[in-house]
Chains A and B, each alone.
Chain A
Amino acid sequence: MPVSQREVDELKAAGERMSLDDADTTLQSVAEIIAFQVYQCRHLGADQAEVLHDIELLARAAEFNKSELRAARDVLRALNYRLPSLSC
Chain B
Amino acid sequence: MSDIAETATTDERRDRGGRFVIGGKPGPGRPLGARSKLGEAFLEDLRDAWNEHGIEALRRCATEDPSQFCRIIANLLPRDIDINLTGSIDVADFATRFRTAVELLGNQPPQQPKMKTIEHKATTNARKPA
Chain A contributes a number of interface residues (CB within 8 A of B) equal to: 19
A51 to chain B, nearest CB (A): 15
Query: How many angstroms between the C-alpha atoms of A47 and B61 in the bound complex?
Result: 45
Among B12-20, B38-46, B62-70, B87-95, the stretch that binds chain A is: B87-95
A36 in contact with B94 given A75-B102, A79-B102 (CB within 8 Å): yes
B98 at the A/B interface (Cβ < 8 Å)? yes
Residues 10-48 of A contacting B (Cβ, < 8 Å): 24, 26-29, 31-32, 35-36, 39-40, 43-45
A-side residues, CB < 8 A to B, are: 24, 26-29, 31-32, 35-36, 39-40, 43-45, 71, 74-75, 78-79
Q: List 15 A-B contacts (CB under 8 A).
A: A26-B92, A27-B91, A27-B95, A28-B95, A31-B109, A32-B98, A36-B94, A40-B86, A43-B89, A44-B85, A45-B85, A74-B110, A75-B107, A78-B102, A78-B105
